[in-house]
Amino acid sequence: MSGRFEGMVSVITGGTSGIGLATGKRFAAEGARVYITGLQQAELCAAVAAIGPMASGVQADSTRSDDLDRLYERIEKEARRIDILVVNAGRGSQLALGSITEQHYDNIFDLNVKGVLFTVQKALPLLREGASVILVSSTAGSKGAPGSSVYSASKAAIRNLARSWTLDLKSRGIRVNVISPGPIKTPLLLGLAGVNPADQQAFLEILASRVPLGRVGEPEEVASAAAFLASSDASYIAGSELFVDGGFAQV
Ligand SMILES: NC(=O)c1ccc[n+]([C@@H]2O[C@H](COP(=O)([O-])OP(=O)(O)OC[C@H]3O[C@@H](n4cnc5c(N)ncnc54)[C@H](OP(=O)(O)O)[C@@H]3O)[C@@H](O)[C@H]2O)c1
* Residues 238 and 132: beta-carbon distance below 8 Å: no
Instruction: Give the pLDDT confidence score for residue 2 in this predicted structure.
Output: 59
Query: Quick check: is 250 in a domain?
Result: no
Query: Quick check: is 141 in a domain?
Result: yes
The one-letter amino acid at 199? D
Mean pLDDT of the region 164-176: 98
Mean pLDDT of the region 216-235: 98
18 CA to middle of ligand 1, Å? 7
Q: What does the pLDDT look like over 6-23, one tens digit per residue?
A: 999 999 999 999 999 999
**57 close to ligand 1 (CB < 6 Angstrom):** no
Mean pLDDT of the region 55-76: 98
Q: Please give the tally of structural domains in the chain.
A: 1
User: Residue 51 and residue 49: Cα distance in Å, rounded?
Assistant: 6
Query: Quick check: is 66 in a domain?
Result: yes
Query: Quick check: is 121 in a domain?
Result: yes
* Confidence check: pLDDT of 58 > 90: yes
Q: Active-site residues: which are they?
A: 151
CA-nearest residue for atom 19, ligand 1, is 18
User: Residue 27 and residue 9: Cα distance in Å, rounded?
Assistant: 9
**181 close to ligand 1 (CB < 6 Angstrom):** yes
89 CA to middle of ligand 1, Å? 5
User: In angstroms, what CA-CA distances link 103 with 100, 116, 141?
Assistant: 8, 19, 20
Ligand 1 pocket test, candidate residues 19, 114, 203, most atoms within 8 A of CB: 19
**16 close to ligand 1 (CB < 6 Angstrom):** yes
Percent of the chain predicted with pLDDT > 70: 99
* Residues 4 and 231: beta-carbon distance below 8 Å: yes
Query: Quick check: is 37 in a domain?
Result: yes
Query: Quick check: is 89 in a domain?
Result: yes
**23 close to ligand 1 (CB < 6 Angstrom):** no
* Confidence check: pLDDT of 173 > 80: yes
Mean pLDDT of the region 32-61: 98
Query: Quick check: is 59 in a domain?
Result: yes
Domain of residue 96, residue span? 9-182+217-244
Instruction: Give the pLDDT confidence score for residue 50 in this predicted structure.
Output: 98
For residue 156, the domain's CATH number is 3.40.50.720
Q: What does the pLDDT look like over 68-117, one tens digit per residue?
A: 999 999 999 999 999 999 999 999 999 999 999 999 999 999 999 999 99
Is residue 1 very low, low, confident or very high in pLDDT (cuts 50, 70, 90)? low
Q: Of ligand 1's atoms, which has the minimum distance to the CA of residue 36?
A: 43
Q: Of ligand 1's atoms, which has the minimum distance to the CA of residue 91?
A: 47
**135 close to ligand 1 (CB < 6 Angstrom):** no
Query: Quick check: is 162 in a domain?
Result: yes
Instruction: Give the pLDDT confidence score for residue 64 in this predicted structure.
Output: 98
Q: What does the pLDDT look like over 177-204, one tens digit per residue?
A: 999 999 999 999 999 899 999 999 999 9
Question: Among residues 217, 212, 216, 221, which one has the least CA distance to residue 203?
Answer: 216
